[in-house]
Amino acid sequence: MPASESMPLPILLPDQPPFNLRARILTPLAAGGHRFEADGLLTVDAAGRITSVGSFADTPGLGPVFDLRPWLVLPGLVDLHVHLPQVPHAGLGFGTPLLDWLRRYVFPLEHDFTEAVAEVVAPAVYRGFAAAGTTTALMYGAVYEPSLDAAFRAAEAHGIRAVIGKVMMDRLTYDETLRPSEVLDLSLRQSADLCDRWHMRDNGRLRYAFTPRFAVSCSPEMLRESAALAKAKGAYWQTHLAEDRAEIAEVARLFPGARDYLDVYDQAGGLGPRTILAHAIHLSDREVARLAESGSHLAHCPASNLFLSSGIMPLGRYLEAGVSVGLGSDVAGGPDLSLFGAMRVGGYVQNALKVATGDPRPILDPFAWLRMASFDGARSLGLEDEIGSIEAGKEADLIVVDTARTAPPAAPALDDPAEILSTLIFRSHPDMVRGAWVRGRRLDGPPG
Ligand code: GUN
Ligand code: ZN
């Protein structure tokens, strides 16, 4: 037998737009539901925009086509909450309550996150994101301005879509050299300068998020002034909310005039459609209703919530109330950079919650988890017209997955998209993502 008949040809991936892809395609749709093409064709123009999505048979007469079959093209995933400097400590401190964990594992690490460290860590983390299928990440940096510049420079060079913010803290902080009032002024000025330098760079691929760490680390002035700056500059505002019982008690002690944790941020003018709040595990009905009313977004971090013994987020209750929820890895609170991992843990936890409480709501299916990790994350960033699904007119932020490369091996050949997706979530393999693109430009990281 000639070699060409016995050996499959290697699958070649395009590096730059324009290109045409033939592959299996699965995507949530902006209008709701999802689309699956068992033999699909996707065309991307020279600007990196998707010009058509359809079945291969219905799209005759094209030029050269990259044939990725039997691999599966999905939208690039959106990590709505992750700490860039903490990635080297992923997996450390299992079961340590939040405030102890911050003092023991996080503050020393972030204290040492200098520009030189960021120049080494950031490119490796971005390659790790792409290898995990994440093409957009909303990140916290550490406090030092030059380390933030380094993180942005690395994102600019790598090609990932990145929203990053300098962590702001004028109490419970790791930079003991300055008085709180000096920290407040410096933090606001440096954050504003970083925003001016980086927000909307490369036609909006890089963006800035004002990032007061959480109410425990911030004076009312820090919260208020950072929220005002974010609004004035059209940037994002991100912080942590109601993650841990001891944290909530501390917030109640520090802010006696607030009705509850969310009210601290509300009084600061922090709520609204450009706001992303991480965790939000322990909320009253009032807080849930106010979140929905304000149009703020939650970053659900199920792996972190279990790793740090923080609790179980009542996701069904929030969704029913109309709260917008995307998915976050929260590394290093969560040990896994992969959002497939976050989908898996989230699925398990919500299943356990249902069994334990007798909650009659149906659990979320694999399509709902994929939507949360892609389209809903994009919408939380106001990018639902640009990314988050594979539809004509959107930018080509894509990943391709070898669906046979799951763990354990010997995956069955499946035709049903719900079953394929279920295997990607529940038996995902670190090497199953083979390629990742932002605006049609291939990212370094996946093995190819
Ligand atoms: N709350 C305040 N800072 C942090 C952090 O770095 N990680 C987590 N999980 N929660 C926080
Ligand atoms: Zn966090």
Considering the domain architecture, whether residues 131 and 22 belong to the same structural domain is answered as no
How remote is the CA of residue 25 from the centroid of ligand 2, in Å? 32
Alpha-carbon gap, residue 421 to 438, rounded angstroms = 22
pLDDT at 3 > cutoff 50: no
Q: How far apart are the first and last CA of the chain?
A: 28
> What are the b/e assignments for 226-263, b being 16+ CB within 10 Å?
bbbbbbebebbbbbbbbbbeebbebbeebbeebebbbb
265 ligand 1 Cβ < 6 A: no
Predicted confidence at residue 175, as pLDDT, reads 74
Considering the domain architecture, whether residues 138 and 21 belong to the same structural domain is answered as no
Domain, as residue range, for 303: 77-380
Alpha helices in 64-216 (DSSP H): 98-101, 107-111, 115-132, 145-158, 180-198, 201-204
pLDDT at 412 > cutoff 90: no
pLDDT-derived band of residue 177, with 50, 70 and 90 as boundaries? confident
How remote is the CA of residue 71 from the centroid of ligand 2, in Å? 33
pLDDT at 179 > cutoff 80: no
287 ligand 1 Cβ < 6 A: no
How remote is the CA of residue 241 from the centroid of ligand 1, in Å? 9
Alpha-carbon gap, residue 244 to 234, rounded angstroms = 30
Contact 63, 41 (CB under 8 A): no
Predicted confidence at residue 194, as pLDDT, reads 98
Residue 447 in domain: no
List Cβ neighbours of 42 (8 Å cut-off, separation of 6 or more).
20, 21, 23, 25, 50, 52, 53, 73, 390, 396, 398
Contact 49, 4 (CB under 8 A): no
Residues 123-133 pLDDT 10s: 999 999 999 99
The ligand placed nearest to the CA atom of residue 238 is 2
Predicted confidence at residue 1, as pLDDT, reads 43
Residue 1 in domain: no
Which of 353, 380, 407 is a domain's end point?
Answer: 380
Total domains in the chain come to: 2
Considering the domain architecture, whether residues 175 and 58 belong to the same structural domain is answered as no
Please state the rounded mean pLDDT for residues 426-440: 97
Please state the rounded mean pLDDT for residues 168-191: 88
Considering the domain architecture, whether residues 205 and 126 belong to the same structural domain is answered as yes
Which of 380, 402, 424 is a domain's end point?
Answer: 380
Residues 139-161 pLDDT 10s: 999 999 999 999 999 999 999 99
How remote is the CA of residue 7 from the centroid of ligand 2, in Å? 47
Residue in this structure with the two tokens 């980086």, named with its chain if needed: 198
Considering the domain architecture, whether residues 265 and 157 belong to the same structural domain is answered as yes
pLDDT at 4 > cutoff 70: no
How remote is the CA of residue 255 from the centroid of ligand 2, in Å? 21
pLDDT at 113 > cutoff 70: yes
How remote is the CA of residue 330 from the centroid of ligand 1, in Å? 8
Predicted confidence at residue 83, as pLDDT, reads 98
Of the two residues 411 and 189, the one the predictor is more confident about is 189
Considering the domain architecture, whether residues 338 and 350 belong to the same structural domain is answered as yes
* 421: number of Cβ within 10 Å: 25
pLDDT-derived band of residue 249, with 50, 70 and 90 as boundaries? very high
Considering the domain architecture, whether residues 52 and 150 belong to the same structural domain is answered as no
Q: Whose CA is nearest to atom 3 of ligand 1?
A: 213
330 ligand 1 Cβ < 6 A: yes
Relative to the CA of 216, which ligand 1 atom is closest? 2
The ligand placed nearest to the CA atom of residue 138 is 2
Predicted confidence at residue 409, as pLDDT, reads 81
How remote is the CA of residue 169 from the centroid of ligand 1, in Å? 12
Q: Whose CA is nearest to atom 7 of ligand 1?
A: 333
Residue 3 in domain: no
Considering the domain architecture, whether residues 216 and 241 belong to the same structural domain is answered as yes
For the chain, percent of residues with pLDDT exceeding 70:
98
333 ligand 1 Cβ < 6 A: yes
Which of 380, 400, 417 is a domain's end point?
Answer: 380
Considering the domain architecture, whether residues 86 and 68 belong to the same structural domain is answered as no
pLDDT-derived band of residue 10, with 50, 70 and 90 as boundaries? confident
Alpha-carbon gap, residue 187 to 174, rounded angstroms = 13
Predicted confidence at residue 2, as pLDDT, reads 52
Contact 79, 377 (CB under 8 A): yes
Please state the rounded mean pLDDT for residues 32-44: 97
The ligand placed nearest to the CA atom of residue 333 is 1
Q: Give, for 73, the enclosing helix (H) or strand (E).
A: strand 66-75
Please state the rounded mean pLDDT for residues 276-286: 98
Instruction: Write the CA distances from 205 to 136, 328, 361, 387, integer angstroms.
Output: 9, 19, 38, 11
Q: In testing the pocket of ligand 1, which one of 82, 109, 211, 214 has its CB within 8 Å of the most ligand atoms?
A: 214
213 ligand 1 Cβ < 6 A: yes
Name the residue among 392, 414, 394, 406 with its Cα closest to residue 434.
406
Residue 132 in domain: yes
Contact 187, 166 (CB under 8 A): yes
Considering the domain architecture, whether residues 134 and 233 belong to the same structural domain is answered as yes
Considering the domain architecture, whether residues 193 and 295 belong to the same structural domain is answered as yes
